[in-house]
Amino acid sequence: MKKNYDSEFKEIVYKEGYTLMTPYKTDLSKVILSCPKRHKYLVVPKCFKNGDRCPFCSIKSIGCLSKINFEIEIVKSGYKLLTPYVRNAIYVGVECYLGHYRQVTPDKFKHDKRCPECDRLKKKA
Ligand SMILES: [Zn+2]
Ligand SMILES: [Zn+2]
């Protein structure tokens, strides 16, 4: 059975005092929300669920979009994320497709996706 994510998201938005202005499609397709103070802004539903709120009202944003981008980058590079992303400068645990574990900051990972353990094995061979 298909869950009705549209009304589920609407409900979350409504509970926070926000209004959904455009139809919800997927967690990653942007919608327009109106905040309790009637600011309209574009947001990725997944970010709203993760706690990101109106950028005009809250100075503090948890940077959810960079989190999503990092998670996508991890998957694209064939890695697995083992600990949750917090910030670009905070270490996370990742595993390469051969199962080598390492700790790296998202910042570093963006510039160097190679697994040091795999590199070592390649040199040996
Ligand atoms: Zn607002
Ligand atoms: Zn490896």
| Residue 28 backbone phi and psi in degrees, to 5 | -110, 0
pLDDT in tens, 5-41: 778 999 999 999 999 999 999 999 999 999 999 999 9
* Residues within 5 Å of ion ligand 2, judged at the Cβ atom: 96, 98, 100, 115, 117-118
Nearest to 97 by CA among 112, 84, 113, 120: 113
Mean pLDDT for 47-62 is 78
Mean pLDDT for 41-52 is 91
| Residue 105 backbone phi and psi in degrees, to 5 | -85, 145
Tokens 């353990």 belong to: 117
What 3-state DSSP class applies to 92?
Answer: strand
Question: Amino acid identity of 119?
Answer: D
34 Cα–ligand 1 center, Å: 7
65 Cα–ligand 1 center, Å: 18
pTM, rounded to two decimals = 0.60
pLDDT at 62: 54
93 Cα–ligand 1 center, Å: 35
pLDDT in tens, 102-114: 999 999 999 988 9
